[in-house]
């Protein structure tokens, strides 16, 4: 069973939270963190693509932070980084 994604309030400056900020809050739940600590860096490396696949550099006016660390410690920032990691390393399933 996967718990429902909890609604999060906005940032202290009144803007909507970015995907990264919502995921950081979500990972504070130990049950969610067990899987999301491995999945989120993959998603964040692809965050420059919007829901239609267009390239973007901001989310709701906030510059994207696509940095992440793969489960083996490899730093990810771009789709190219992710491509290299997935081709060179086994997926921990």
CA–CA dist 5, 24 (Å, integer)? 12
pTM > 0.75: no
- Both tokens assigned to 1: 């069973």
Backbone angles phi, psi at 59, to 5 degrees: -125, 115
At residue 71's C-alpha, the angle toward residues 58 and 28, to 5°, is: 65
Residues 42-63: tens digit of each pLDDT: 889 999 999 999 999 999 899 9
- Both tokens assigned to 27: 């990972």
Boundaries of every domain in the chain: 19-88
Q: For position 41, what pLDDT does the model report?
A: 87
Q: For position 13, what pLDDT does the model report?
A: 75
């Amino acid at each position: 069973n996967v718990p429902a994604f909890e609604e999060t309030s906005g940032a202290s400056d009144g803007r909507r939270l970015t995907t990264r900020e919502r995921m950081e809050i979500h990972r504070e739940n130990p049950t969610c963190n067990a899987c999301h600590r491995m999945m989120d860096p993959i998603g964040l490396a692809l965050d420059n693509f919007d829901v239609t696949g267009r390239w973007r550099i901001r989310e709701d006016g906030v510059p994207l932070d696509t940095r992440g660390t793969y489960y083996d410690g490899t730093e990810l920032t771009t789709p190219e980084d992710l491509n290299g990691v997935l081709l060179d390393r086994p997926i921990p399933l």
